[in-house]
């Protein structure tokens, strides 16, 4: 099958250093691996996007237009409808609600009627969470045409075998229990809650080390809560290299704000699980489901930092439990590769999968 993978979000490009760019590139790579011919179009301008789509169709038959949903961007949906092409819309967030919450100064909330028409006409609406699926239904998507599949992971890049590469980070003591964070620091990550947890563990005398890989004002948030010997920061590295550092993590606590919506599917969760870190997640959104309600990771009350601290302390002390949960997490992650998600999309669209 020859398909277009369209991205009209001006804030996202495969070359950008952010998780959304990783997602974009990963899906394109997965379609290629499954035998599809992928024409990538990254164009926020509607007229230029339509021109690129028209040029692509003139060059040969198209079987599918796969589009990452962006506010006010309907070139893909309208082009697919005009040319009777299968159209898949990927929904990563309730975009209008998100913009109102985090970017209230922005005025463009999109055209609600055009959004409704696009979602109603889509052959498939791929949502990264049940909350996103609920939003898509409320905006016009047909329930039978919704597929819920959280973000995936590339098990070739994230696996415990890369731990030896991560050990080259001299700033991490070899015998420390490593608590990890990777990615670009965002307000909703609740990083200050993670710092408070590590501080409490350190004050108990546990040999813990907070390892951060990515971009953000980590040192500013940490302040004097932790001695410099208890934390290290590796700036943003290419995604090819991240897995080596994540494989050094013993656990990966997620500390999202309990008062904020949890509609997303964090890339870092499955990446950590695939690399052998025990995921510790708040009981928010679909996070507990990802770790099988505690069988492939740990779940805590998002309102209770004390519970998070106790769970982390127990993992630090109990190697057997840690290894059991890490192995269970790896098995779960192995079932959620990008290729598996792309394969579901192609099958739902009637395309052959190699």
Write out the residue range of the structural domain in which residue 27 sits: 2-152+337-348
Cβ count within 10 A of residue 107: 7
Do 311 and 254 belong together in one domain?
yes
- Position 352 scores a pLDDT of 67
Asked whether residue 114 falls in the same domain as residue 134, the answer is: yes
What are residue 146's DSSP bridge partners?
A: 125
pLDDT tens figures, 114-155: 999 999 999 999 999 999 999 999 999 999 999 999 999 999
Write down how long the chain is: 354
User: Mapping DSSP to helix (H, G, I), strand (E, B) and coil, where does residue 208 land?
Assistant: strand
Does any domain span residue 343?
yes
Q: What is the pLDDT of residues 62-102, one digit of tens each?
A: 999 999 999 999 999 999 999 999 999 999 999 988 777 76
Stronger pLDDT, 166 or 63, i.e. the higher one = 63
> Is there a single domain that holds both residue 220 and residue 343?
no
In sequence order, the β-bridge partners of residue 212 are 181, 233
The CATH number covering residue 187 comes to 3.40.50.2000
pTM above 0.85, yes or no: yes
Task: Give residue 49's Cα distance to chain centre.
Answer: 26
Residues 330 and 341 grouped into a single domain:
no
Q: Tell me, yes or no, whether 143 and 237 share the same domain.
A: no
In a domain, 353, yes or no: no
* Terminal C-alpha separation, the chain: 11
Tell me if 354 is assigned to some domain.
no
Q: Does 73 fall in a domain?
A: yes
Domain assignment of residue 80, yes or no: yes
Residue with tokens 């563990």: 201
Beta strands in 174-288 (DSSP E): 177-182, 208-213, 231-234, 251-253, 278-282
CA dihedral 299, 303, 306, 311 (to 10 degrees): 10
Contact 41, 76 (CB under 8 A): no
pLDDT at 170 over 70: no
Asked whether residue 138 falls in the same domain as residue 169, the answer is: no
315 — pLDDT class (breaks 50, 70, 90)? very high
> Do 135 and 235 fall into the same domain?
no
Coil, strand or helix at 181: strand
Q: Are residues 202 and 284 in the same domain?
A: yes
Q: What CA–CA distances, in Å, run from 237 to 30, 40, 49, 221? A: 22, 24, 31, 21
Of 226, 205, 197, give the one whose Cα is nearest residue 311. Answer: 197
Residue 169 CA from chain centroid, whole number:
25
Q: Does 24 map to a domain?
A: yes
């Amino acid at each position: 099958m020859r398909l277009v993978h369209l991205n009209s979000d001006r804030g996202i490009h495969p070359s950008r250093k952010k998780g959304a760019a990783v997602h974009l590139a990963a899906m394109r790579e997965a379609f290629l691996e499954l035998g599809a011919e992928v024409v990538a179009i990254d164009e926020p301008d509607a007229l230029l996007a339509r021109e690129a789509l028209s040029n692509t169709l003139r060059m040969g038959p198209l079987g599918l237009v796969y589009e990452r949903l962006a506010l006010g961007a309907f070139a893909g949906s309208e082009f697919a409808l005009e040319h009777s092409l299968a159209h898949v819309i990927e929904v990563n967030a309730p975009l209008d609600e998100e913009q109102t919450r985090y970017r209230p100064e922005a005025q463009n909330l999109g055209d609600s009627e055009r959004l409704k028409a696009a979602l109603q006409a889509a052959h498939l609406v791929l949502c990264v969470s049940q909350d996103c699926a609920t939003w898509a239904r409320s905006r016009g998507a047909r329930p039978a045409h919704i597929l819920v599949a959280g973000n995936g992971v590339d098990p070739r890049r994230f696996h415990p075998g890369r731990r030896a590469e991560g050990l080259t980070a001299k700033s991490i003591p070899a015998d420390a229990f490593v608590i990890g964070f990777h990615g670009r620091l965002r307000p909703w990550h609740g990083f200050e809650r993670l710092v408070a947890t590590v501080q409490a563990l350190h004050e108990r005398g546990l040999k813990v080390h907070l390892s951060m890989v990515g971009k953000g004002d980590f040192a500013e948030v940490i302040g004097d809560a932790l001695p410099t010997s208890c934390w290290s920061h590796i700036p943003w590295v290419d995604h090819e290299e991240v897995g080596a550092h994540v494989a050094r993590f013993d656990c990966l606590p997620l500390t999202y704000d309990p008062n904020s919506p949890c509609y997303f599917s964090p890339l870092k969760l499955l990446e950590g699980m695939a690399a052998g870190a025990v995921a510790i997640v708040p009981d928010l959104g679909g996070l507990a489901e990802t770790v099988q309600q505690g069988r492939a990771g740990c779940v805590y009350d998002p309102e209770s930092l004390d519970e998070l601290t106790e769970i982390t302390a127990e993992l630090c002390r109990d190697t057997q439990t840690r290894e059991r949960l890490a192995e269970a997490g790896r098995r779960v992650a192995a079932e959620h590769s990008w290729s598996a998600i792309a394969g579901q999309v192609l099958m739902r669209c009637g395309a052959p999968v190699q």
